[in-house]
Amino acid sequence: MLRTIRATQYVTALREGGSLPAIVEADDLGLYVIKFRGAGQGPLSLVAELVAGEIGRILSLSVPELVFADIDAALGRNEPDQEIRDLLRASVGLNLALDYLPGSSMFDPAAGNKADSHTASLAVWFDAFVLNVDRTARNANLLNWHSKLYFIDHGAALYFHHNWPDADHLADSPFADVRHHILLPWAAGLEQAAAHANSRLNPQVIADILAQVPDEWLQSSHPTPAEARSAYLNLLTRRLAASPIFTQEAIRARAHLI
C-alpha cells in the first residue's frame, strides 16, 4: 500500500520537467518530487505513474518509493510565481510523489554509463509491456544513484487510456518504439527477462495495483471507477499474454543495433 504524506512546503520547481514537477518537503520531513494532478497532462498521467511504477517495482526494478501527496489550499498561497500558484490551486487534494533521490544524475551512455544485462533486459521488457516511449537517449528518465539505476517518469505509459475506443489493438502491439530504448544495447537477456516478468505478474497482482488508484483520478473515461479499473485490468492481462510478441520485437530490434 502506498503511504500518504502531506506536503508542507514547496521547495523548488524542476524546470526540466514538462509537467512542472516540483520538490516539496512533507510532514514526515522527507523531500519528494511531486507530480501534480492539476498539471496540463491531467490525472491520467498520475494513473500511469502509479500503475507502471508499481509494476516496475514488482519486476524488481528500482523505482523510488511512490506516495500519495496531499496538498491543501494553504500551500500555494505565498508562492510569488503565478503559474505555480495556479498549479497548486488546481492540485488541492491527492497527488502522486516520489522519494527524492538527492545527488542522483541522469543515466548517460555518452558519459560512459553502462547497464548490466539483467537490469537492461528487464527494463526493455517492462517499458514494452507498459508502452512507455519515454526511455530514449534524448530523455532517459533513468537516474544513477548510489551505483544503481532508478526508473522514473512513467506518466506517458499506458497511453491507451487516452483513447479507450482505440485501445484494443494496443493490447498485442509489438511496440516498435522499443528500437529507441536507451538500454536496448545492453539487453542481452530478453528471453530470461520475459520469463522472470511472467513469473511475477498475473491478473491478481495487477488488480491489486489498480485497486490503489484513487477514484478521483479515474473519473473521465468510464461511467464508474470500477469499470475503468476493469478496463485497465482487461487490457493489461491481454498485454501480458502478448509478451512473446513484444519480446521477439525487442530481440529483433536489438539484432539490428549490434
Ligand X SMILES: Nc1ncnc2c1ncn2[C@@H]1O[C@H](COP(=O)(O)OP(=O)(O)OP(=O)(O)O)[C@@H](O)[C@H]1O
The footprint of ligand X (CB under 6 A) covers 14, 16-19, 21, 33, 64, 98-101, 104, 106, 139, 141, 152-153, 155
What is the grid cell recorded at 98?
A: 516520489
218: how many CB neighbours lie within 10 A of its CB? 22
Say if CB 64 and CB 3 are below 8 A apart: no
Total residues contacting Mg ion by CB under 5 A comes to 2
* Span near Mg ion by CB under 5 A; candidates 7-15, 113-121, 139-147, 176-184: 139-147
Q: Which one, 19 or 132, has the nearer CB to ligand X?
A: 19
Residue 33: which of Mg ion, ligand X, none does it interact with, CB under 5 to 8 A by kind? ligand X
> Cβ of residue 76: shortest distance to Mg ion, in angstroms?
23
Q: Of 49, 153, 177, 249, which one interacts with Mg ion (CB under 5 A)?
A: 153
Residue 246: which of ligand X, Mg ion, none does it interact with, CB under 5 to 8 A by kind? none
Check residue 19 for interaction with Mg ion (CB under 5 A): no
d(CA 125, CA 119): 10
118: how many CB neighbours lie within 10 A of its CB? 16
> Cβ of residue 212: shortest distance to ligand X, in angstroms?
19
Residue 155: which of Mg ion, ligand X, none does it interact with, CB under 5 to 8 A by kind? ligand X
What is 218-249 written as a DSSP string? GTTTSSSHHHHHHHHHHHHHHHHHTHHHHHHH
What is 170-206 written as a DSSP string? GTT---GGGGG-TTGGG---HHHHHHHHHHH--HHHH
> Cβ of residue 241: shortest distance to ligand X, in angstroms?
29
Q: Which one, 33 or 182, has the nearer CB to ligand X?
A: 33
Say if CB 66 and CB 32 are below 8 A apart: no
Which residues would be at the binding site for Mg ion (CB under 5 A)?
141, 153
